[in-house]
């Protein structure tokens, strides 16, 4: 049967905000190495793709199909605010990708009378 997902699966994502940063955690089971993960900042979104070490095939009855096979993750995450993409950093450990994006904060002092 055809695979409408094109071999991609959407991973579970958690977005946390601290005062100065946006932290994004992405669960990537079956991904082995940081070299298999690609992270890109696109305006107000973060795009993540990652290759699994092997293709995963599920058999189940869904609305569209009976079989699903995946070999990659792909997701786009809407960022909750402006970020300084140049200073973004990412680590991949124990199957979890952590991306830290510094917030771009325009601070203007307001006089109190």
- Residues making contact with another protein (CB under 8 A): 9, 11-14, 16, 25, 27, 29-30, 56, 58, 61, 93-96, 98
C-beta closer to another protein: residue 10 or 44: 10
Residue 50 DSSP symbol: E
Do the beta carbons of residue 62 and residue 9 sit within 8 Å?
no
C-beta closer to another protein: residue 18 or 86: 18
Q: Cβ contacts of residue 36 below 8 Å, gap of 6+?
A: 50, 51, 52, 53
For the bound state, the minimum distance from the C-beta of residue 25 to another protein, rounded and expressed in Å, comes to 8
Q: Cβ contacts of residue 105 below 8 Å, gap of 6+?
A: 20
For the bound state, the minimum distance from the C-beta of residue 15 to another protein, rounded and expressed in Å, comes to 9
CA-CA distance, 50 to 96, in Å (whole number)? 11
C-beta closer to another protein: residue 58 or 105: 58
Classify 72 as helix, strand or coil: strand
For the bound state, the minimum distance from the C-beta of residue 93 to another protein, rounded and expressed in Å, comes to 6
C-beta closer to another protein: residue 12 or 42: 12
């Amino acid at each position: 049967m055809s695979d409408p997902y094109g071999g991609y699966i959407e991973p579970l994502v958690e977005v946390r905000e601290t005062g100065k940063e946006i932290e994004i955690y992405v669960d990537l089971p079956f991904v082995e190495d940081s070299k298999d993960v690609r992270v890109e900042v696109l305006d107000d979104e973060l795009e993540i793709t990652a290759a699994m070490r092997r293709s995963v095939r599920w058999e189940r009855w869904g609305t569209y199909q009976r079989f699903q096979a995946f070999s990659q993750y792909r997701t786009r995450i809407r960022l909750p605010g402006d970020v300084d993409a140049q200073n973004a950093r990412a680590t991949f450990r124990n199957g979890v990708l952590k991306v830290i994006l510094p917030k771009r904060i325009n601070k203007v002092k307001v006089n109190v009378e």
